[in-house]
Amino acid sequence: RFKGANRPVEQVSWFDVVDFCNKLSQREGLEPAYTIKGENVTCNWSAKGYRLPSEAEWEYSARSGQRFKYAGSNNVDEVAWYDANSGKQTHPVGQKKPNGFGLYDMSGNVWEWVWDWKGSYSGNNGTDLVGPDSGPGRVDRGGGWNDFARYSRVSFRFGDVPSNRYDGLGFRLSRL
């Protein structure tokens, strides 16, 4: 929906993203992470290709070893685009303060799909790297440009049907 250089991709389903990961991996000569058979998708966690982060990986990256409410600060305006400051649109990545790992927009701008199904979550510092085998939806994290600030908290989790697409939902890739 929103055009411009360096804006986050949005309006992509979880299925769109896993397919994109495999195509990008193949284009770069990397082993794809996913086996896709219709709506049945499995992940080869040792593949070197692109993939979605697990929920635990996403949270570890967003927290970056710090104890802030948001990714990089306790002040949401320093790190996130959300309903009160976004002007009703996404913004080019990197205009706000990065977190401790130098990652931008882990809070706000667009929600980010992760691998996991929505279910109970312990957040045990990476000891449970992959979540449940099924659930009511796939997890998205980080909050978005059209949501209240509280949804941009690193601890906030949301779940969506994997076929959903909307202008506040995007992704961030991982690879080994």
Predicted confidence band of residue 123 (pLDDT cuts 50, 70, 90): low
Going by their DSSP bridges, the two strands 169-171 and 34-37 should be labelled as unpaired
pLDDT at 164: 96
Using the CB atoms, write b or e for 107-130: b if 16+ within 10 Å.
bbbbbbbbbbbbbebeeeeeebee
Average pLDDT of the residues in 13-41: 97
Percent of the chain clearing pLDDT 90 (strictly above): 88
The C-alpha atoms of residue 137 and residue 160 are separated, in whole angstroms, by 5
Tens digit of pLDDT for each residue in 46-68? 999 999 999 999 999 999 999 99
- Count of CB atoms situated within 10 Å of the CB of 45: 12
| pLDDT greater than 70 at residue 127 | no
- In this predicted structure, what is the pLDDT of residue 126? 53
**pTM of the predicted protein model:** 0.93
> Whole-number mean pLDDT of the chain?
94
User: Across the chain, which distance is largest between two alpha carbons, in Å?
Assistant: 43
Question: Which helix (DSSP H) or strand (DSSP E) does residue 171 occupy?
Answer: strand 169-171
How confident is residue 133, by pLDDT bands cut at 50, 70 and 90? Answer: confident
Say what percent of the chain tops pLDDT 70: 94
Q: Please give the average per-residue pLDDT across 102-130, as a whole number.
A: 82
In DSSP notation, 60-79 reads: HHHHTT---SBTTBS-HHHH
31 to 14, 24, 46, 155: CA distances (angstroms): 20, 10, 9, 32
Distance, in Å, from the CA atom of 130 to the CA atom of 136, rounded to the nearest integer, reads 16
DSSP conformation class of 34:
E
